[in-house]
Each structure stands twice: as structure tokens, then as C-alpha cells.
């Protein structure tokens, strides 16, 4: 469970960063 949450959180962070770059 912890591992899955970590992977999901990491992917979410990457998507968030990509979204900010696109916004700019």
C-alpha cells in the first residue's frame, strides 16, 4: 500500500510540475 501511494504521489507531483510549465 505504502509503495503504491508513493508511486501515485510521485506521478502526481510530476504531472503537477508539467502542468505548471504548460500554464507558463
Using the 8-state DSSP alphabet, how is residue 1 labeled?
Answer: -
Which pLDDT value is given to residue 11? 94
Dump pLDDT digits (tens) for 1-24.
689 889 999 999 998 888 887 776
CA dist., res. 22 & res. 24, Å (int)? 5
The maximal CA–CA distance of the chain, rounded, in angstroms, is 35
| pTM recorded for the entire structure | 0.46
CA dist., res. 12 & res. 15, Å (int)? 5
Other CB atoms within 10 A of residue 11 CB: 10
Which pLDDT value is given to residue 20? 81
Which pLDDT value is given to residue 10? 94
Amino acid at each position: 500500500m505504502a509503495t503504491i501511494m508513493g508511486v501515485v504521489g510521485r506521478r502526481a507531483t510530476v504531472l503537477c510540475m508539467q502542468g505548471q510549465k504548460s500554464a507558463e
